[in-house]
Structure 1
Amino acid sequence: MNFHVVQGEALTASDLEGRESVTTVEGQELQIGSENGTLTVGGVPVSQSDVEASNGVAHVIGGVLIPESFPRRVSYDLAAQSNSGAISSGVEGTVTFWEYNDSQTLVTLSLDNGPTGASVSHPAHIHNEGDGEIAIYLSPLDGTNRNEANDGTSARLVDRSFDTLAGFNGYVNIHESVENLGNIVAQGDIGSNATGTLGAGLSLVDNPTTNTKELTAQPNNGDFSNGVPGQLRLRELTADQTLVTVRLDPDGDGEFGDGATQATVSHPAHIHGSGGGIQDYLSPVDGTDPRARSSQIVPNSVLNSDGIYVNVHESAANLQYVVSQGDVGSSSGGGGGY
């Protein structure tokens, strides 16, 4: 790609300082500016200028230039937090904002060493810097079972633009569990409070297909003895990935996103194969999340398997109680947000 190349003239740093912008071979306009006395190109600081090259002059910059027509991403480190809980040393991780469309951003979480091995799910939120209140619920991370089916990640499509989140005045917390929210295991500043790592975003498919499948309430002997109805939403993401969203309907009124399950646990969810084994871990649903949903990015190869179904459980401690269940596969329904 040539969106970092200016053709026809060898521009030195002093030449650039006298301009507001330059036009690249790709036809994109790169803004020229200054930040704390340092020359910037496309908003990225120049770390080494006027490097002689065989085809002109090169300038080394401290980031990635991404044309406006390309989706973007920005990642922030989450530092391990010492605490008095079961994961006393905390864990390290990463939160990434992926540009999805003009009004939505895909937020993913990952733990550096995969699942923690704890018998709980780890809720996560974006908090306001000023008052510390939860601004956005993220999808929890399933801490159980370090295996190939559980990669210690989660995803959430939030109703904020990429630029809004990239400039958000706040931070991300990952907690030990819903029951023990006071024990923070990972934390990191985001947006206007931190310098993130910018990069190219996902190669999203055009006009993605969205399918809906009902999850039926399953009577059981647990705390949710009548089960909890829900829906499974499958939206094409890239050529080989799908965003799978579990949406629960605790009051059974057919409306989704109108209340939490009011449980002090998260509800694990899995994709099961025809033989009953877990093929992929979905993100658990936080029992305190007002929208009662979670998402995960899943390979299409998993969804294309025969005889697969989804189980949503009461909790990591009570996996024997299935509260919601539904088949995966061809389904009716379409469009709409998450």
Structure 2
Amino acid sequence: MKKMKTLSLLLLVGFIFTACSEDDNGIGNPGPALDFISYDLGEKSDSGVSGVATFNELQGGAVQLIIEVVGTSAGNMHPAHIHMNSAFEGGSIIVPLEDVDGATGLSITEFSSDVDGNSISFEDIEGLDAYINVHLSANALGTIVAQGDIGENDLTGEEKSYDLGEKDVAGISGTVLFQERVNGFALATISLDGTPADGTHPAHIHMNSALEGGGIIFTFNPVNGATGMSVTDTSESAQTGEDPLIYTDIVEIDAYVNVHLSASALGTIVAQGDIGENGLTGEEKSYDLDEKDAPGISGTVLFQERENGEALATISLVGTPDGGVHPAHIHSGNAAVGGPVILTFTSVDGTTGMSQSNVAELNDGTEFGYADVLDVDGYVNVHLSATQIQTIVAQGDIGANVE
């Protein structure tokens, strides 16, 4: 939404708009606009049509709506309406508008009430639960060429995207994007690559981090496998009984997103990602883990900062035996001198060579996050097994011990 209140500019714009309405449509000059609000109209149906809808406050109390789009062609007339609800939800017409003239891309309508006779003032526009549709033609109303949310459904420009990484099915990954609406809720869009064309993939927000796991707190509309897309308004869960989520809560929530293979195979997760306070900031530090007592085993330990200051620690080794379970720890001191265990990781799976752990505190309960990892006087040991702790298969200094 764009709103400006500089008097001289508004008066100039008002005179231009009212002059256009008189010259182009034969509407009597209602005087200069006192204020205005503009909303974007985005392209739909690969139409190439997009533009702006501008609401003007007129001196007599009426509202003037000017739709101006590009991409239309001379000889075509495009019906346009204000509908109730958000564009995602859909809804009935509340204000019919003058057709958009394909030759000019313009539609100019003056109104002061809805189809039921309820008054609408300029002050009401920002609070409207509504959207605008521009259609292909009177005979093809089902084809929308341009569309945009208005009023409380408009997007503020604040948004947050989180990665959804590949999980149990190779080749499926993407993002979940949350965009704040004026009403405080969010438009949530899941976009995945690699989904099967005939797939329908349930998706949810779960409490806690993905490593910890937790119950469902919000259900998205399922991901369409043919498009890889799911769009949900967080004002209403797709599952009855779940609470709505506002944008400011989402960006701070202790949660993660799962996308599942199907309703009958919820145990198979095709994409997953932490969100809110568990989301990754992009800051990360990797340390080498060198071969030690078992030839051929080496790798890295990667620490990635979370939004809440904690860290996601991923140990990745090559050469570990299939079926092996390898305890891993941070020890105090450096590897050359040695020292006691201060933090225990999840054991490395020998079959995959992987271990993931959330780093939030030391074994004694002392807070220990990403910033502490970078400064710690420590090193990492990965051991052969719980019964052969003395055999170290990979080892590396971290934090202050690495230049």
TM-score bracket for the superposition, by shorter chain length:
0.3 to 0.5
Larger Rg belongs to: 2
TM-score (normalizing by structure 2): 0.35
Which structure has more relative contact order (CA 8 Å, sep 6+)? It is 1
TM-score (normalizing by structure 1): 0.41
Higher strand share: 2
